[in-house]
Structure 1
Amino acid sequence: MEARYAFYFILLTYSIFSFIIQRKMNKHRLTLCAALAVATLGAVSCTRTSEQEQATEAVASEQDLGQLFDNYFEARLKLFPMEATAIADNRYNDQLPNDISQEHTQQVRQLYQSYLEKINKIDRSALSPQEQVSYDIFKYEMQVSLEGLDMPSRLLPINQFWGLPITMAQLGSGSGNQPFKTPEDYQDFLGRIQGFSVWGDTAIANMRRGMSVGIVLPRTITQKILPQLQAMLVDDPSKSIYWAPINNLPASFSAAQKDSIRQAYTSAINEQVVPTYKKLYDFMQQEYLPVSRATTGISGIKGGDDYYRYLVRYWTTTDMTPDQIFEIGQQEVARIRSEMEQVKEQVGFKGDLQAFFKYVNDNPKFTPYKSPEQVLNAYRDIEQRMQPQLSQLFGITPESKFEVRQTEAFRAASASAEYNPPAPDGSRPGIFYVPVLDASTYNVVGMESLFLHEAIPGHHYQISIQQEQEGLPKFRQYAWYGAFGEGWALYSESLGKELGLYTDPYQYFGRLSDEMHRAIRLVVDVGMHAKGWTREQAIQYSLDNELTSREAAVAEIERYMVIPGQALSYKIGELKIKELRQRAEKALGDDFDIKAFHDEILMSGVMPLAVLEKKMETWIAKQKKS
């Protein structure tokens, strides 16, 4: 290994030295050539030398840019070690920085600011088309990330949907990204438990600061968090979710190793895990709940209007205003509702749409399952039925493995179906998690569209192909932009008929209901956070327009309450991808190739929608010439 690195160092040194000498020689030649041109009008050879110099400088710029990206990614992983764990880079598995502290925020600010200054020194015009895309994405990311550091998110570190108390429990259960395969793995997570204790103290301090300036959660949200925290308070460490890896100690461990690990985890759970959750629970129950706000939207906090406008830009990667999004949402709700009426008439149902919603929700024929495994197998069957048609729509397919799993019991009650990406090294498959609280009430309607979105060809194709693309900078291989990623997943739902699904009108109705769900989000998210809608108004709007239960509608609306703007990304991204497909079909006519279109969308990974649009316009122009 050392000899190989020495060779690379020598090669790199030689390349740099040669490049410097070459640039100096070109500079002298150009000066001499220019002088000769004045005397003899012999400009041809000068032009050729100038072109050579420009080509050399372009290569140098790309090399500088590639190194800049590599350096940034390495620096970022040190500040965000959970991101490293997610991609199976185990160097920082014992670290959990206090990412809501002022010190960490300042370190992150310095990172973004320094790399924004670095990228601004690169000559974009000298880059190749692919490098220009990377340049545009990177610069956008630095600018938006810097702006986000001035927002009050650190004063709202906990909610019922996501956050470190939930993430740590998932990691500690052994079912998440944290590996538990070696004694070192078990030791690593003890380091994160210690970091979690420090984080918990800072979370309380931050929330007290928020209380002092009127930046607090809605009361209904605080009430949902309390039982989640309370569930982690156990007297017996073996009853903790954090004990699950101890129940699965590898047989290869020696008896002494197993005893040592059991003792260490007993102490960690008793002395760090449970006390941290207990402090958080007591604080939120005794201090925070009484001052939690009665308002619904983020506009109810100090600076909330500006914060929401930022979040809209952040999640949609556009400059659209809340009012524009609200109007689009209303138009989409009306369009989809009309299609729902058509399906209702197709199946011969007598009654209005509300009655049809109730029929589909309550009729026993739509809840045929008796066990969670039957539900999971039904999703696996969907994959098998669509598999033959995938090659007609995609030239590039993922190499990463894929599994369907039931969501862990400790988080199932508040979880939605979701996708967890694979590890790049193949050590962890892509996982489609399905929460099944009661299999006998699990409704079959909408399962096909859900699978298309969360699994194949939605998130599994998009994320896996992105990670597997050679030549992409790492910051792009592992990037995430909701407007692109969720937009692609929602667009994938529209491919059902092309993939041999939606032959049952009720499954197509489920697809329309899922699309309606995303259209409703545009209305209720903006309604709550920018137009003064109450939680109850938003819940009722959902119940009036989609196939859902009151319990599900409440969970969704409360999700939007604590993550303003995130729910906008799905529909805004989907509409842009559909627009680009229509534009390509119109421009290319019979030469339009759906496989080539999908491959072009996916092969470069996620990016802001404006960058995607520019990239696809270039692709369309090239297709027209070929």
Structure 2
Amino acid sequence: MKIIKRLSLLALSGIMALSLGACSSKDPQEEQKKFDHFIEKQFIQQMESDYTTMHVYLKQPQKHGVDPTNVKVNLGERPTIENQHKAAEKAKKVWDEFKEFKRDILSDEQKQTYDCFEYQGNIELQLMDKKFDYYQQMFASISGIHYQMPTLFSDWDLRNEQDVKDLILLVKDVKPYVDCVIQYTKEQADKGLLMTNLDDVKKYCDGILKKGENSAILTSMYQNIDTLKLSKTKAESYKKQLKQAFTTSFLPAYQDISDLMKDLKKSGKNNDIGLAKFENGKAYYALLLQKSIGSNKSVDDIKKMMNTSFNTHLQNLQGIVINNLDIVKKITENKLPVTSFKSYDEILSYIKTQIPNDFPSVKELKYNIKAINDEIASSSGVAAYFNIPPLDGDGTKQLRVNPKTGAINKIQTYSTVAHEGFPGHMFQYSFMYENQQNLFRNACIDSSAYVEGYAVYAQYYAYNYLKDIDQNLLLALKENELASYNMIILADIGIHYEGWSLKDFKDHFNAIGFQLSDHDAMVQYSQLQANPCAFEPYYVGYEEIASLKEKAVKKLGDAFDDKAFHTALLKSGVAPFNVVEENINAYIEKGK
């Protein structure tokens, strides 16, 4: 799982909440020139619109036309309905300007950028409709603001002394920012539109508060200051200011969130139902689904895809175990194979030696591995994550791992490292940065379905490199996991589009032979209910890629080549699936 690109919770404004004039032209060269200028200015204004975005993506903003003096050092635009309405107005103006460009006279590369912009902008513009006011859940238990900030600050990259001063300002801004989020949430609850897992959010915040001034988050920031080699006097001064900001802003903000969750639970204003029960909930979910899957497929299309995929994976699993009955016992009793790896680095180093025959060459595959902040490791259950690297950095990628989730030699650990590292996200972004020169495409397009779908595909592909483990067992694990997640996504649709109750949820799993205890059913139902479309990017994204590969294999036969297919797949960068499919089709035509 990669880090959230923006901290600003006005994320729905996305790339469209910008202003720049554009006009169409009948002269292809003139039109192409103006389109490039338009896209370049979108990138600049996106970077200048949010300090955290600029800092994550650019080490030297000025070299890319970005003026840091235009950027206010804070946590972003306040998430108020008034601000969202203003953003929607700006987005509509930019959309109208964008649509004046003539796609058919753009270059092939520009057409793909156009398609990326059009897909993302169209969905986000619809999501900004006033009828969806207060539908966004600020404290989603998996990705809410309370969940983002500890990781954000623990991993904050300090490159110079000014960055330390800016970090102190960011920490001071936590309470003012959270105050606005809390006010929004109270208004949301009053309107009957709150659906948050209150207990989970409170538990997470209380875990942060329990550490107080001894927080590992604060310690991580101290350690980052130490990397700058400042004088002892300066370093101690900045640490003192940072501690003051942490104790007067960060910790009080988390106390306020905890108190809010407690009050909301007492008030009974929180819903334990899905979006389907809200007035415009089904329409909102349909758009949210499209945003999460990277395509314009309807809810019914995805239901059909998941049902078909489930049956396919189940049949594949049955075909494997019918002659390998011991595999069933190993899976059901959780007696899974182990690897011989003794460190995360050993896993990455090994996979790195295996991928050249199957994946395109990449020059920069440098990386460092650090353990996840102790508090995050203890409370989140996240096994690992990959930090998005700056566009103009030195190429070193950062992998964060959580030793608390299991032993190094567990097959799940290998799978996680392959997902986040090689040939997953770390390889994916390395290839993209080397081969996709369009900064806007690399930083401003959000297609989590392609990004995460590829990483799921990569983790399973990496099973091929475990030559000392029974491949039938690994394949059975893969098919079993995919079938399970197909059912999870169908349940997500059931809760948020069809209005399933907890009983409906249990009946759904019972009907296919998954017997859930009352406790397990409640836990899973609550997670899905509070986090609509959380799993779709990973597993709908995977199924899309698997389908494209199946198509290529069928069309090309013996001419199919994994390395060529992966090159075409990675060529897309971050893109919706219509662009990904276009690149795969080009590979197929070339290979015939």
TM-score, length-normalised on structure 1? 0.78
State the Cα distance separating 1:225 from its structure 2 match. Answer: 0.5
Say yes or no: does 1:113 pair with 2:89.
Answer: no
Per-residue CA deviations over 1:179-202 (Å, capped at 9, x if unaligned) read 235332221112212332222111
Distance 2:280 2:366 in 1: 45
Tell me the residue number matched to 1:23: none
**Larger deviation: 546-555 or 451-460?**
546-555
Matching residue of 1:258: 235
Q: Which residue of 2 aligns with 1:605?
A: 573
- The answer to whether residue 158 in structure 2 is matched with residue 192 in structure 1 is no
Q: Kindly indicate whether residue 356 of structure 2 is the aligned counterpart of residue 391 of structure 1.
A: yes
Q: Residue type of the partner of 1:563?
A: N
2:555 to 587, 599, 608: 587
From 143, 167, 192, the counterpart of 2:148: 167
Asked if 2 retains the 8 angstrom alpha-carbon contact of 1:357 and 1:547, the reply is no
The corresponding residue for 2:500 is: 533
Deviation at 1:113, TM superposition (A): 2.4
Residues paired across the two proteins, number: 552
262 and 528 in structure 1: CA distance in 2 versus 1, 3 angstrom threshold = same
Give the 3 Å change call, closer, same or farther, for CA 359–331 of structure 1 in structure 2: same
Instruction: Mark the CA change 1:596 to 1:197 in structure 2 (over 3 Å): closer, same or farther.
Output: same
Code of the residue aligned with 1:212 in structure 2: it is: D
Q: Does the 8 Å CA contact 1:297/1:561 hold for their aligned counterparts?
A: yes
Unaligned runs of 5+ in 1: 1-52, 369-373
Whether the aligned pair in 2 keeps the contact of 1:366 and 1:444 (CA below 8 Å) is yes
**What SS does the aligned partner of 2:382 have?**
coil
**For residues 347-390 of structure 1, what are the alpha-carbon distances to aligned partners after superposition, in whole Å with 9 as ceiling and x for unaligned?**
5439xx5x654411xx5x7689xxxxx98x45444434433431
SS in structure 1 opposite 2:193? coil
Instruction: Supply the AA of the counterpart residue of 1:159.
Output: A
* C-alpha distance 396-549 of structure 1, shift in aligned 2 (>3 A): farther
CA deviations over 1:284-313 (Å, ceiling 9, x no partner): 212355324453422233422111111111
Bigger fraction of residues in helix: 1
Q: Pairwise CA RMSD of aligned residues?
A: 3.5
Could you say what secondary structure the match of 1:233 adopts?
A: helix
Query: After superposition, where does 1:114-513 map in structure 2 within 5 Å?
Result: 114-150=93-129, 151-152=132-133, 156-173=137-154, 176=155, 178-218=156-196, 221-233=197-209, 237-239=213-215, 241-247=217-223, 249-250=225-226, 252-293=229-270, 295-349=272-326, 356-360=330-334, 363=335, 377-397=342-362, 399-412=364-377, 413-417=379-383, 418-426=385-393, 429-437=396-404, 439=406, 444-477=410-443, 479-496=445-462, 498-499=464-465, 501=467, 503-504=469-470, 505-513=472-480
Q: Does 1:86 align with 2:62?
A: no
Tell me by how many angstroms 1:400 deviates: 4.2
Which amino acid in 2 is paired with 1:290? S
In structure 2, the CA distance between the partners of 1:421 and 1:290, relative to structure 1 (3 Å rule), is same
CA deviation vs aligned residue, 1:4-34 (integer Å, no higher than 9, x gap): xxxxxxxxxxxxxxxxxxxxxxxxxxxxxxx
| 596-605 or 584-593: bigger deviation | 584-593
Secondary structure of the residue that 1:437 maps to in structure 2? helix
Deviates more, 1:484-493 or 1:338-347: 338-347
2:347 and 2:160 map into 1 onto residues whose CA distance is 36
Q: For 1:536 and 1:265, how far apart are their aligned partners in 2?
A: 49
Contact 1:309–1:321 (8 Å) recurs in 2: yes
**Matched position secondary structure for 2:208:** coil
Alignment-derived partner of residue 68 in structure 1: 38
8 Å CA contact 1:419–1:455 kept in 2: the answer is: yes
Report the residue type matching 1:513 in the other structure. N
Deviation of 1:501 after TM superposition, in Å, equals 5.0
Structure 1 pair 568/110, CA: closer, same or farther in 2 (3 Å)? same
Greater CA deviation, 81-90 or 232-241?
232-241
Shift of residue 250, structure 1, vs aligned partner: 1.9
Counterpart CA distance in 1 for 2:349 and 2:518 is 33
| Equivalent AA in structure 1 for residue 75 of structure 2 | L
Query: Taking structure 1 as reference, are residues 245 and 296 closer, same or farther at Cα in structure 2, changes over 3 Å only?
Result: same
Shift of 1:216: 0.9
The answer (yes or no) to whether the contact 2:395–2:430 under 8 Å persists in 1 is: no
**Following the alignment from structure 1 to structure 2, what is the Cα–Cα distance between the partners of residues 287 and 141?**
34
Which SS does the other structure have where 1:597 is aligned? Answer: helix
Which stretch of the first structure deviates more once superposed, 80-89 or 231-240?
A: 231-240
| CA deviation profile, 1:218-265 (whole Å, cap 9, x unmatched) | 4xx101110211223368524462343225542722232123213312
Give the 3 Å change call, closer, same or farther, for CA 297–109 of structure 1 in structure 2.
Answer: same
Distance change >3 Å, CA 80–CA 540, structure 1 → 2: farther
**Is the 8 Å Cα contact of residues 243 and 265 (structure 1) preserved in structure 2?**
no
**1:623 offset after TM fit, Å?**
4.2
> What is the deviation of 1:78?
2.5
Output the amino acid matched with 1:167: Q
- Contact 1:193–1:272 (CA under 8 A) maintained in structure 2: yes
Deviation at 1:128, TM superposition (A): 1.2
CA distance in 2, matches of 1:388, 1:347: 31
State the Cα distance separating 1:613 from its structure 2 match: 2.1
- Report deviation, 1:551: 9.2
**CA, structure 1 residues 459+255, in 2 after alignment: closer, same or farther (shift >3 Å)?**
closer
**What is the aligned partner in structure 2 of residue 524 from structure 1?**
491
Q: What is the DSSP-based 3-state SS (H/G/I as helix, E as strand, rest coil) of the residue aligned with 1:573? A: helix
Change (3 A) 1:539 1:242: farther
Q: Residues 117 and 434 (structure 1 numbering): CA distance in 2 closer, same or farther, change over 3 Å? A: same
Larger Rg: 1
**Percent of pairs identical after alignment?**
18
Unpaired runs of at least 5, structure 2: 1-24, 62-67
Contact 2:57/2:391, CA 8 A, preserved across alignment: yes
Q: Which moved more, 1:553-562 or 1:115-124?
A: 553-562
